[in-house]
Amino acid sequence: MAKEFNIPQNATFKQISECLAECSNQMASVSEKVGTYKADVALKETAYKRAMARATVKHSGQKNATLTKAMAELDPQVIKAQDEYDGVNAIYIIASGELSGWEAQFVALRKMVSIREIELKGNI
């Protein structure tokens, strides 16, 4: 998923501008993916909760609530739904982390611009 991106040391304004454009484009692209993954997580979470509810009702004749819950968690449909939910959630977490990385790079570049502006004004 992640594309390697390095901010050049002692970057010129042109290089900073190009880096800002790259960061903006990548943030937009990754943000779109994050939205899709988040929707998928919501759908899989709902499917998991429904499977768990069905399994809980199915096993509600057990002696106590702890046993009912344990039997429901071992139900094949619940296990399948949980695995699918975990899979899409992991992808969503990775994509969110990537987006945060691009945002941090963007902030760093904006700070570089501010520092360069101060330097040009002769305050440093």
Q: How far apart are CA 106 and CA 92, in angstroms?
A: 21
Q: Taking Cα atoms as reference points, which of 43, 46, 40 lies closest to residue 91?
A: 40
Q: What is the mean pLDDT of residues 71-85?
A: 94
- Give the pLDDT confidence score for residue 3 in this predicted structure: 64
Residue ranges of domains in the chain = 37-121
pLDDT tens-digit map of 27-65: 999 999 999 999 999 999 999 999 999 999 998 887 888
Query: Which of 9-13, 25-29, 113-117 is predicted most confidently?
Result: 25-29
